[in-house]
Amino acid sequence: MNTTVDLHGLTPPDLAAHLRQNGVTVTDAETRRLMGWAISQGRLDFDQMPKPVPRRVRDALGTLTTAHRPRVLERVTDPIDHSVRYLFEAHDGKIFETVRIPLHKENHFSVCLSSQAGCAMKCDFCATGRLGLLRNLTAAEIVGAFCAVRDEAPGRVSGAVFMGQGEPFHNYDAVLQAAAVLSHPCGGRVAQKSITISTVGLIPRIEQFTKEGHKYRLIVSLTSAIDEKRARMMPVAGRWKVAQLAQALKARTQATGRRATLAWVLMGGVNHGQDEVEALKTTFAGIPLRLNLIDINDSRPDGYRRATDAERNAFMDALQILGMPIVRRYSVGQSEDSACGMLAGKASAALDDASGRALQAAPAL
């Protein structure tokens, strides 16, 4: 029985295997040309290829493959940082976001990708966490969103980061497959070292990621080095101690020879005290690290507040004792309240409100 797969989720070897399993004779060179046309060039008019593959192969694509991109519901451009946040709708109506981010190099961009519609991690400071998990995205949906954003970029997309909606390691197989497509010369043409995958710290997956020898960058969202505090803000953290996470990162640095990167969402009055510095010093001693500081972007009136300049500067000064690079990262989309999860949250609320009004207006049976 023939099965249909979406081209956006395939590398050339995957396409070759799929066609051959369905009785279509194809060469590796032919599948490279097909995928280069479909993914690298973003075109599906295979008859127009400069060097077309045999018609029997092109005809087989029509019955054995599809090529769908999620529908763009909204684009929001931030007037300050010039990021563009896309709100996408999947085939089943699920909503997720992707962001085009300008890089320092002129006319170069990175794309921040979601791995799930919603998220199950329930981090207290994250708008996406308040949505709950709706479902995992497929590799094809992730790559389809990337291609849609890339094809509108006024320059080259040279990077991709899995730091949008969802926990990438909670959707491990699809994220790694999407990364394989994005980094393939006939796919997204993004260097492996320019693809970053973020995690809240799912230790078994970090260990698997290390064992499999992936060359993509890894960022671990730490936010607090104190177990009790971290577990309150990031419930999944209660499953593992910070010391266990440190050991997983130590093994990774030994395997890769590179620093581990920690992301620290900075919140005023919460996680910038001397106690955090001491916990970092004790728990991560001897592990080569880089710390990325990211200001909280919380639109709730009762939410966390951004650290003041004085709080941030004092924390950065205190961190110098650790002897690690400290990098301040900026959360894009702040002026438009369009940080990850905010647009999807607004859209979901609007849909819920519309559904409620429709129910109220419906005649009684």
Please tell me the distance from the alpha carbon of residue 135 to that of residue 167, in angstroms, as a whole number.
11
Highest mean pLDDT among 116-130, 140-154, 226-240: 140-154
**58-65: average pLDDT:** 93
What's residue 334's pLDDT? 56
Question: Mind listing the domains of the chain with CATH numbers?
Answer: 5-66 (1.10.150), 71-349 (3.20.20.70)
Note the pTM of the prediction, 2 decimals: 0.90
pLDDT exceeds 90 at position 184? yes
Active site residues: 97, 340
Instruction: From 88, 115, 217, select the one nearest 159 (Cα to Cα).
Output: 217
DSSP-derived secondary structure letter, 200 = S
pLDDT exceeds 80 at position 55? yes
Classify 337 as helix, strand or coil. coil
Confidence tier at 282 by pLDDT (50, 70, 90): very high
The DSSP line for 89-146 is E-TTS-EEEEEEEE-SSTTEEEEE--SEEE-SS--TT-TTGGG-EEEEPPHHHHHHHH
Please tell me the distance from the alpha carbon of residue 9 to that of residue 182, in angstroms, as a whole number.
9
Q: Share the mean pLDDT of the chain.
A: 89
Q: By percentage, how much of the chain surpasses pLDDT 90?
A: 79
pLDDT, tens digit, for every residue of 4-53? Answer: 999 999 999 999 999 999 999 999 999 999 999 999 999 999 989 988 89
How far is C-alpha 124 from the chain's CA centre?
A: 19
pLDDT, tens digit, for every residue of 247-272? Answer: 999 999 999 999 999 999 999 999 99
Pair of tokens at residue 290: 């880089």
Three-state helix/strand/coil letters over 142-157: HHHHHHHHHCCCCCEE
Using alpha carbons, list the distances in angstroms from residue 20 to 7, 34, 285, 314, 323.
Answer: 15, 15, 52, 62, 55
E strands, 277-321, where?
289-295
Please tell me the distance from the alpha carbon of residue 154 to that of residue 60, in angstroms, as a whole number.
34
What's residue 337's pLDDT? 52
The CA radius of gyration of the chain, in Å to the nearest whole number, is 22
